[in-house]
Structure 1
Amino acid sequence: MLPCELETLVDDIVHLRCESQHIELKRSQTEAPKRLYDTLSSFSNQKDGGIIIFGVYEHNNYSITGVDDPQAVQQQVNNQAKQMVPIVRPVFTVAEIDGKEVVSAEIAECPIMEKPCYYAGAGRLKGSYIRVGDSDEPMTEYEVYSFEAFRQNIQDEKFPALNATMDDLSSDRLTEYMLKIKRFKENLSQLSLEKVLRLQGITVNGVPTVAGLMLFGEYPQAFFPQLSITAMVIAGNMYSDISQNDERFVDNKRIEGTIIQMYESAMKFISRNTRQATIINENGERNDRPEYPLKAVRELVLNALIHRDYSIHTINSPIRILLFNNRLEIENPGGLYGRITIDELGKMSADTRNPFIAGALEVLVETENRFSGIPTIYAEMEKAHLLPPVFESQRGVFRATLYNQGSLSMNPDAANDSESSIMKKILSFCSEPRSKDEIAKHIGLSSVYYITARYLHPLLESAQLRMTLPDRPKSKHQRYVAAQSRI
């Protein structure tokens, strides 16, 4: 970073009066804080790293206090960075602002094969942090494990199932599998059943694995009760909404069985609880169009079952399917796996958490677009003239959301009482500049994309809300403030 760039960044921070996902402020007028380990760790563990700025005091209206000895601050920060594993290498910049010296330390993202970056003095489990908004939070044991599982290529799907025997696998399903193996994998078709099952991760030393039971078990939930799906139809657009009959769930079902059985039952549940629109084309022909594109839903359900985490850390967490009035949400335990990020979904090849389950289903599930994944979902939503899908990965949970036709109406004048109430709540909250994440948390909705499209855009268009950086609408420092408020 050049000194002039640091000056511009500090000007933005003082103007917005806030830290952010990638910015941490320290007063540090006489010396660097004794404890920077949490921030060094969290920035090293997040995409694109972060910047620590010394000499700006957030608790005094973001005033520029400067640092008395920039050289000493750099040395103190560097000393702490050397106590991280792997060692952190800050890049320092010094700039004079309002006659005072301000120092920045840029912390680069740690290579994926070396994550998590942690403070050696506390150890990996207690010294690893992750950035959440503008704070540094200790990683959960599962978050630490996720990095180690990828680095060490731990395959939880191949763990032998305790107390399971070959009698717990369905002979009919195994016979069907072998018949399809002969069609799709000729090299395996000449091998014995016992050897195929071992090579395909279905058994280990003659004992069924997690993958084996989930693919071919007679009743997998006898061994893993929570490796299932909970499917719910919510009465409104928010989880807390209640129907006219004082019911929170219009429909509620626990779906069990093998992966294929759960896939089929989930598709039936969604089909039963979604609407069909009748479209008359220009030739007078009648076509029924589902509320959500069938291929997109199919991909999401399959992806959740294939790519969920089957480790001991999440084995008690089911997949969740939530049908709201305006959207479909599918959540699976286990955030994004490996090197890919949310922004890269559908644009590059992703690492596979459960390659044996994925390989078996390529043989067992014959669909037109077998596991074509994210690009198919985007294409199907666009073809149906619906909003693009929204994908989120938050602290060990991956969520995919599809919005229906009702979400395309963005006119605040047509909003119902509930929506009008939410808009008023947003305007009240934005009496001072707020980020999208802060607004989402305040009104209790998880999807920033939905909040932006449904509420922020109409409020901006009606001039009830304004951006703090109107010339840079996509800036990561962007905040929103009620029009009548003064920054």
Structure 2
Amino acid sequence: MNKEQILEIIRCGENSRVQFKEHFTTQKQMAEELVAMANAKGGMIIIGCKDKTGEIVGLSYDEVQVASRELGNTAQEHVKPTIYLQTETIPVNEDRSILVAYVDEGVNKPYKNLSGDIYVKQGADKRRVTENAEILRLFHQSGTYYPDHEKVRGTNMADVNRSLVEEYCTKNFGKPVDDMGVPYERLLENLHILASNGECTLAGLLFFGLAPQQYMPSMMIKAVAFYGNDMGGLEYRDSKDIVGTVPLLFEQGMSFLKANLHSVQAGQGFNSVGKLEISQIALEEILQNALVHREYIANAPIRILIFDNRVEIISPGTLPSGMTVDDLRFGNTLQRNPLMAQFCSRTMQYRGIGTGILRAIKEGAQMEFDNSESGNQFAVRFRRPVVGVATSAMEGAKGVNLMDLYPDLTERCPKLPKTERNNARVVLHLCELPKSVVELMEATGYESRTSFRRKILTPLLEADLLKPVLGDKNSPKQRYILQDSALMS
């Protein structure tokens, strides 16, 4: 790092990865700083800079030598397990320099000082960790603790759904349970569905349990489809708490997405089944990843949030230690929950080889990844088509902008729900020629005739924007066409 780069960092002030020290203090105090950075995302300690003002005071040659030696001793003797530092001296004038110590994110968390105290970064400061759950999270990040192997207190073999075990054995071993050659309870232990004391493992309960949420109520999906784009809205289209085993959570989570997203023809034949406006493969891959790789220590559900302009799938816990969003994009992976990953790879579409994100990206879905340290969650946001369901219905109508069609629609059709205005514009545009209900439903992605009539067709008819057209012997079905007055918009 050159002088200009370090000066720019200093100008920006302290943060969770940059700490200023005017001079080397004591080994005890420096150990606390090193422990906090190693337990977080790493960072740098800049010695020779006032921590309150950022003023560079620098160190003499002898001070640099002492500070560098003391830092090395601190990292080796006052931090457990030992961490390894890199230091760099950067001159700031003829006789003064600053010393930069680089601390990598630790791979053997949690790190402690000689007193056994654990520290983590809290913004530019540090704090002592005392909660067991947070200490377990540090072990989990280091890859030395797997909560999906943990025993679920109070459970036993009676909480396991034998029919699911039968399906699993038949699919993976080609034998029913009774032909596996070991007693049923021993088989459950061999499969790691039960622990050695007879209680269910967390992964075993979540994958094969009769009622997993009876013991782990937060291991569920909360799904909400909102009106508009604001999570704070009081009204929503649909809401569901999804419970059951992991395969059932996946199945019903996808059903919720399909029910609340639109299907479009996208150049397919008239009688073909429409495609989801967002790639179904991409949604499946991201939802499976959320279920398999969520942080099971976190007492929070997975969330599926559907807005007019986006879909969010939010998983408790950030990416595993050392992983970045770029790693995901290149197919690099770490299995946070190896037992759960094993069950899923043998039963579901999940493959467990790190290619899920790559497949989702290849599908062309417009995705954003948000690895939120402060919120302890990982979110994937899918962008919905700008004008919602209507884009494919407008294919071939070159130069047509939905928002330019029928600009006075709100005033002329007050009973039309505000969330259906773009769909109504598509219907009016298509009905310049007679169209059947089936054609209009397919164009706007509706599967329920009742909902389509109630939300769109009836308001347009009552506002005298559409009128029915009687069928003839060639087209006996009733169709709908624009009223002459609607053409004047």
Instruction: Report the TM-score range of the alignment, normalised by the length of the smaller protein.
Output: 0.5 to 0.7
* 1:120 aligned residue: 114
* 2:448 aligned residue: none
CA drift of 1:232 comes to 2.0
Partner of residue 263 from structure 2, selected from 276, 284, 295? 276
* 1:39 aligned residue: 33
- 1:326 paired with 2:309, answer yes
* 2:156 aligned residue: 165
- 1:214 paired with 2:214, answer no
> In structure 2, what is the Cα distance between the partners aligned to 1:184 and 1:43?
51
* 2:424 aligned residue: none
Paired amino acid for 2:79: M
* 2:294 aligned residue: 308
Q: Secondary structure at the match of 2:379?
A: strand
State whether residues 38 and 105 of structure 2, in contact with CA within 8 Å, keep that contact through their aligned partners in structure 1: yes
CA drift of 1:146 comes to 2.8
CA deviations over 1:49-88 (Å, ceiling 9, x no partner): 322222234644x443223533344355445433222334
CA deviations over 1:430-485 (Å, ceiling 9, x no partner): xxxxxxxxxxxxxxxxxxxxxxxxxxxxxxxxxxxxxxxxxxxxxxxxxxxxxxxx
Partner of residue 280 from structure 2, selected from 294, 301, 305? 294
CA drift of 1:129 comes to 1.4
- 1:67 paired with 2:47, answer no
Pairing 1:408-427 to 2, within 5 Å after superposition: none
* 1:50 aligned residue: 43
- 1:376 paired with 2:351, answer no
Classify 1:74/1:408 alpha carbon distance in 2 versus 1 (closer, same or farther; 3 Å).
farther
CA drift of 1:256 comes to 0.8
> In structure 2, what is the Cα distance between the partners aligned to 1:45 and 1:408?
45
CA deviations over 1:71-115 (Å, ceiling 9, x no partner): 344355445433222334443333332445132232332551x22
* Residue segments in structure 2 that go unaligned for 5+ positions in a row: 389-400, 404-489
State whether residues 19 and 46 of structure 2, in contact with CA within 8 Å, keep that contact through their aligned partners in structure 1: yes
* 1:402 aligned residue: 381
CA drift of 1:389 comes to 4.0
Partner of residue 94 from structure 1, selected from 61, 85, 89? 89
> In structure 1, what is the Cα distance between the partners aligned to 2:143 and 2:8?
42
State whether residues 227 and 317 of structure 1, in contact with CA within 8 Å, keep that contact through their aligned partners in structure 2: yes
Paired amino acid for 2:346: V
Classify 1:345/1:38 alpha carbon distance in 2 versus 1 (closer, same or farther; 3 Å).
farther
Pairing 1:357-368 to 2, within 5 Å after superposition: 357-365=340-348, 367=349
State whether residues 146 and 337 of structure 1, in contact with CA within 8 Å, keep that contact through their aligned partners in structure 2: no
CA drift of 1:360 comes to 2.3
Q: Secondary structure at the match of 2:36?
A: helix
Partner of residue 25 from structure 1, selected from 20, 25, 31? 20
CA deviations over 1:274-328 (Å, ceiling 9, x no partner): 22333226x9997733232111211222222222233xx43x4222222233332
CA drift of 1:219 comes to 1.7
Identity %: 23
CA deviations over 1:143-181 (Å, ceiling 9, x no partner): 431342466844433434333333332232232223213
> In structure 1, what is the Cα distance between the partners aligned to 2:360 and 2:316?
25
Classify 1:292/1:138 alpha carbon distance in 2 versus 1 (closer, same or farther; 3 Å).
farther
Classify 1:80/1:357 alpha carbon distance in 2 versus 1 (closer, same or farther; 3 Å).
closer
Q: Which structure is larger by alpha-carbon Rg, 1 or 2?
A: 2
Paired amino acid for 2:38: S
Paired amino acid for 2:46: I
> In structure 1, what is the Cα distance between the partners aligned to 2:340 and 2:223?
22
State whether residues 43 and 131 of structure 1, in contact with CA within 8 Å, keep that contact through their aligned partners in structure 2: no
CA drift of 1:116 comes to 2.4
> In structure 2, what is the Cα distance between the partners aligned to 1:46 and 1:343?
19
> In structure 2, what is the Cα distance between the partners aligned to 1:354 and 1:13?
37
* 1:145 aligned residue: 136
- 1:107 paired with 2:93, answer no
Q: Secondary structure at the match of 1:360?
A: helix
Paired amino acid for 2:133: Y
Pairing 1:175-214 to 2, within 5 Å after superposition: 175-183=166-174, 189=180, 191-204=182-195, 205-214=197-206
Pairing 1:248-287 to 2, within 5 Å after superposition: 248-280=235-267
> In structure 1, what is the Cα distance between the partners aligned to 2:176 and 2:92?
67
Q: Secondary structure at the match of 1:51?
A: strand
CA deviations over 1:262-281 (Å, ceiling 9, x no partner): 11111111111222333226
Q: TM-score by structure 1 length?
A: 0.67
State whether residues 45 and 109 of structure 1, in contact with CA within 8 Å, keep that contact through their aligned partners in structure 2: no
Partner of residue 78 from structure 2, selected from 75, 83, 87? 83
> In structure 1, what is the Cα distance between the partners aligned to 2:152 and 2:33?
40
CA drift of 1:388 comes to 3.9
Classify 1:80/1:231 alpha carbon distance in 2 versus 1 (closer, same or farther; 3 Å).
same
Q: What's the RMSD between the two structures over aligned residues?
A: 3.7
> In structure 2, what is the Cα distance between the partners aligned to 1:333 and 1:216?
22
CA drift of 1:185 comes to 11
Q: Secondary structure at the match of 1:279?
A: coil
State whether residues 279 and 287 of structure 1, in contact with CA within 8 Å, keep that contact through their aligned partners in structure 2: no
Paired amino acid for 1:213: L
Q: TM-score by structure 2 length?
A: 0.67
CA drift of 1:184 comes to 9.5
> In structure 2, what is the Cα distance between the partners aligned to 1:401 and 1:250?
21
* Residue segments in structure 1 that go unaligned for 5+ positions in a row: 417-487
Paired amino acid for 2:49: V
Classify 1:104/1:234 alpha carbon distance in 2 versus 1 (closer, same or farther; 3 Å).
farther
State whether residues 25 and 56 of structure 1, in contact with CA within 8 Å, keep that contact through their aligned partners in structure 2: yes
Partner of residue 328 from structure 2, selected from 342, 345, 362? 345
> In structure 2, what is the Cα distance between the partners aligned to 1:127 and 1:408?
51
State whether residues 316 and 378 of structure 2, in contact with CA within 8 Å, keep that contact through their aligned partners in structure 1: no
More moved, 159-168 vs 400-409: 400-409
